[in-house]
Amino acid sequence: MKTFAELNFPGRLIAVEGLDGSGKSTQIYLLKRWLEAEGIKVYFSEWNSSELVKSATSKGKKRELLTPTTFSLIHATDFADRYERHLLPLLRAGYIVLCDRYAFTAFARDVTRGCPPEWVRGIYSFAAQPDLTMFFKTDLEVSLNRILEGRPKLKFFEAGMDLRLSTDPYESFRIFQGRILEQYIAMSEEFKFVVMDANENVEKQQVIFRKLVSEKIDLKKFKRRSPLPLPPAIPHGEKTAKEAEEDLAAA
């Protein structure tokens, strides 16, 4: 897998990976807000958010109809749709694209659910490698506690209950997420993940994250240009707004 920089894309892609409850979503959200405040052209995309399959995924989860293979294929469809219709166009337009989870999530989760590693990687073979991948590594108990601080119970698939690892959702979570963690650790060197100690407090992690991004990417190249000035007010009866816009575009 070549990075987008190695493929000569004008934009750059930053991805975050980690267990559920690792805090990665908080970190990439804070990074997005910081980049926007710095005037950087930035676009955000998250896992399982394509309108093409989002409702089907939700229905399948609620009815517990998704087999490991179906789970894998539906998430691959989600990723492919976003990759072609959102990620690539924005990267070609010179944006910094932020992804809350990338193909590595499938490499970890789907293999843990029993899908063959070669098969899973094969269906994502069209995707380039991010220019920076941050792996937020956290202890299982820390992840579990963070999740339960926000809601009263674990979700069925989040806890790996579909795999019948344990009748206790908390124990199932520890087993399932522990196996996913092993997959991430095995991938860390292969895909050159930057490993973050996600047990640290939010502020400290964000300072490190921003520093790494600034060192890896020349942010000055991604500054927004000054916005176009608004057209002057047009007296009633002279030109329509559409005509004024056309004149502005032709100028």
- Residue 2 domain-assigned (yes or no): no
- Residue 87 domain-assigned (yes or no): yes
**What's the domain range around 87?**
12-250
- Residue 220 domain-assigned (yes or no): yes
Report the C-alpha gap between 196 and 210 in whole angstroms. 12
Helix spans in the chain (H): 24-37, 54-62, 68-82, 88-92, 103-112, 117-123, 140-150, 169-190, 202-216, 241-250
Which segments in the chain show pLDDT lower than 70? 226-251
- Residue 175 domain-assigned (yes or no): yes
Number of domains comprising the chain: 1
pTM of the model: 0.85
* Domain CATH code at residue 85: 3.40.50.300
Written as six digits, the tokens of 146 are: 């963070």
Q: How many angstroms separate the first and last alpha carbons of the chain?
A: 44
Amino acid 58: pLDDT: 76
Amino acid 62: pLDDT: 72
Residues in Cβ contact with 86 at an 8 Å cutoff, skipping those fewer than 6 apart:
43, 45
Residues in Cβ contact with 220 at an 8 Å cutoff, skipping those fewer than 6 apart:
none
